[in-house]
Structure 1
Amino acid sequence: MNHENYIAVDWGSTHLRAWHVQQNEIKNQLQVAMGVTRLGSTNAAEVFAQYIAPWRDALDVPVVMAGMIGSEAGWKSIPYVSCPVSLVSLAQHLCPVGEQIWIVPGLKVEEADVSNVMRGEETQLLGASQLSPSSWYVMPGTHCKWVQMNEGQVVHFETVMTGELHHLLMTHSLLGAGLPQQESDEAAFEQGVQKGLQSPSILPRLFETRAAWVLNSLPRASVSDFLSGLLIGAEVAAQCHAWQPSSVTLVGNQSLTTRYQQALSRAGIGVQCCDGDAAFLQGVRSIIYAGQ
């Protein structure tokens, strides 16, 4: 592979994001709402031809893709690699889907009583492990990943559906029904975090949230931020109780990592942060170099 000129693609469920890197500088980049669940009547290869192929002056420009593009809904279903696994070995498991075009496989935990999967985060983890070495990574998002590492190996990981649960409760449940446009409210978020940390058995707290705005003890425009704090606080309390990390590295965009950092700090956990895009690009760069 040509590590001086390559294309990194993060192709998820809702969005396609890509970067064209030359001489360690980003020459082109894009983000379009063409994730694998939004392809409609077109297919991944056609979307690739429209948005990414024009960046390739010649077919020797390598393309490394990660995320849901490797799922059954994507370009091709790529088998998961079992944990524990060394992240540097990902380059040995790339699946070709075109001339100088590869997909990174996802990871799986498959035990007698535990099953888990990830796609895309493994590439971020590879980069994060080089930019911000750590024994524990937390990757906030729609489905937050908690990952245990040991000397470059992913030992175990869990997925917490905090982001999706927030969306479902606000848009498809009685908790969010009839609310006005939501506004940013840091105080409400902090209040929610504190309650979540104190009461990680969260089911009774959910209806209490509705009762709070019905009885006017919680501003109706602040419910979203309070609920976000409640869910993140409960997640942090439960996961830290189970795994006892002394410190974690957060990997993601600043808006989400800031919220998790607040909750983790309140729980007495040391925190460092690693930008999610920087980690992804470093992960792809590492894979490109490994293929030399």
Structure 2
Amino acid sequence: MPLGTLDRTPPPFFKQGPSALSKLMVCSALALFLMVADTRFGITQPLRAGVATVLYPVQWLVLRPVLALREAGNYFESLRSAQLQEAAAREKLARQSLRANQVEQLSQENERLRKLLELRERITTPAQAAEVLYDAADPYTRKVVIDKGLAHGIEEGSPVIDESGVLGQVTRAHPLISEVTLITDRDQAIPVMNTRTGARSVAFGDPAGGQSGALELRFMAGNADVHEGDLLTTSGVDGIYPAGLPVARVDQVERRADAGFARIHCVPQAQVDGARYVMVIKPVAGQLPPRPADLAPTPAKGGRK
């Protein structure tokens, strides 16, 4: 085949259209036109609304896991915050409860101290305040230990009272502390007087009379004028206790026909199991004037004048 008859045009596969630069310029001009037209006339708003409507279910489904994770995070965060607030509230409540108990205890102590001072004003003998440290370790006696001793002028035999009445008597004085035997001790006895009748008797400790101990009026006739509710006070005839201090109140009177004496049980007025502050009184015998000596001796018989 002669060379002049060959087709020199490139085949369609290698045929090139407009250049890339031309296409870029046309597309850029079209995009700029569409933006300006959309801004001025909103020609793509219906299309945008339609596309948004079509894609809304897809968006809703895609956002579900994200929202679920966010809600789960908020739930655990809220739960943690609630637990911390609850712990803080419990701690605050515990502190307030402790403070309330302390305030109540202080109020009770103040009330007892006021009553003790009021009782002190009615006593003319010297006295000094003391604090109960602890109960004695001996299980067979009823004793307490106070924080005053010989160095503070405490004497053996001194009466001890609280805000309600007679608590006991100092039976052993050490340099810095003293032992006080309570009136409910089995070996303790105290002269008393019935304020209603004026009858005098002696009250003995009766530790078996109840859980906190009691008193018993012994050697009282079966027909003695004693009734439940009678108040017993110190008679003052023993030279130890001042007269008129509350001691006990009659709780039960047992009269038996076959017995010559009545069994009379009494409840102490003092807080024998819960006293905190007490008053130690000087024994009355120490406040009495000395017995006067004879002015002149009696002359012997047959002696000179």
Q: Same-fold call, TM > 0.5? A: no
Instruction: Give TM class, smaller chain.
Output: under 0.3
Task: Work out which structure has the larger RCO, using CA pairs closer than 8 Å and 6 or more positions apart in sequence.
Answer: 1
TM-score (norm 2): 0.25
Larger Rg: 2
Structure richer in helix, relative to its length: 1
